Amino acid sequence: MSPLSTQPKPLVDHRIYTIALRKMPEFLEVFHHLAMPVLLQTLGHPLGFYTSLVGPQNQFVHLWGYDCLADYEQRCAARDSHPDFAAYLAASGHLITAQETRLIRATAWPAAHQAPSAPTSHAGRAT
C-alpha cells in the first residue's frame, strides 16, 4: 500500500522546512527514520512530499490532509505527545533553519478536472 493518501481532504497542512545548506540528505534520513513512524501513526498518510527545484532552495515541503480543524488539532496533539517524537525533534533541530506552517482549505472550482479552453488568437489577421 502506498504511504501517500489518495483521498481528497477539505483542510491541508502545508509545511515548508528550510534545511541548512548541504544538509538535505541528512535531514531526509532523520525524517524518514525518526519522524515518519510517528507521523504515520498519529497523522495518517501524507498527501505528498516535495523538495524545491526553482525558487528558494533547500526547502522540504510536506502536505497532510484533515477533515476539519478539530481533526487537525486532535492529530497534531497526538503527534506532539507521542513518546518517540522528541527523538526526531532533537535529531533535526540543527538541520532546520526555518519552518512555515499553513492551513489551506479546498476551494470549489468549476470543471476541476478540465483546463479552460484557450482564447483564439487573432494576431496577424487583417481586419
Domain ranges for the chain? 15-105
**pLDDT tens-digit map of 88-103:** 999 999 999 999 999 9
| pLDDT of amino acid 8 | 77
- The fold adopted by the segment(s) 15-105 is Alpha-Beta Plaits (3.30.70)
**pLDDT tens-digit map of 36-53:** 999 999 999 999 999 999
Written as nine digits, the cell of 71 is 481533526
What mean pLDDT is predicted for residues 6-15?
86
Distance (Å, whole) CA 60 – CA 51: 5
Triad 44, 72, 81: Cα angle to 5°:
75
